[in-house]
Amino acid sequence: MHRELEIARKTIFEGAIITVRIDRVRLPNGKEATREVVSHPGAVAVLAVTSGKKVLLVEQFRKPIEKNLLEAPAGKLEPTESIESCVKRELAEETGYHSDMWIPIGSIFTTAGFSDEKIWLFLALNAQKGKAQPDEDEFLSLHTVDWDWLWAQAETGVIEDAKTLALLIRAKSKVEAYFDDIPTDRRESF
């Protein structure tokens, strides 16, 4: 295994969400290099599925790419918040829905080439409607989409959000097994 030994670290920006730093490292071949690193406190993302096999997605404008994305509800961890309370809070805030069936499905590093951001992934089954309470700087549109439609959009490249794609891959067998166990006449239509 090849590792880079940190020689020096300099913080160049500290914001409300991220910190940017320059690391000087010694490479495995003995030479030195510079690494630009974005530090992030971590986040959660949830694939919430209703009893009618509908998936809750939010659409929001993303300034870095200057376009709207259709994506799974997600949000940043607060300093003393547990991962579990964060994911429940984010689902409620962004969609108004809640669930009593939470399944952790691992984590991902979003852009390990320059950031340490880690997102913990969850599946929420039998999501039930409540009232959304988005943050004052969030402008979201809730979309309730069919499971099969979402997969088709993911396969054709319409869904571009990495965390949403990771959630779909990790949750697929669990969602399908869950619905295989529920008789069609007992499923709620949305």
d(CA 173, CA 151): 13
d(CA 123, CA 93): 16
Phi/psi for 107 (5° steps) reads -145, 165
Is there a contact between 50 and 143 (Cβ–Cβ < 8 Å)? no
**In what order do the strands lie in the sheet containing 5-14?**
5-14, 19-26, 32-39
Per DSSP, the chain holds a count of helices (H) and strands (E) of 3, 10
Query: For the residues of 50-75, what is the DSSP string, one character each?
Result: -TTSEEEEEEEEEGGGTEEEEE--EE
DSSP 8-state class, residue 98: B
Q: Considering the candidates 4, 81, 90, 136, report the single residue annotated as catalytic.
A: 136
Active-site annotation holds for 136: yes
Tell me which residues are annotated as active site.
Answer: 136
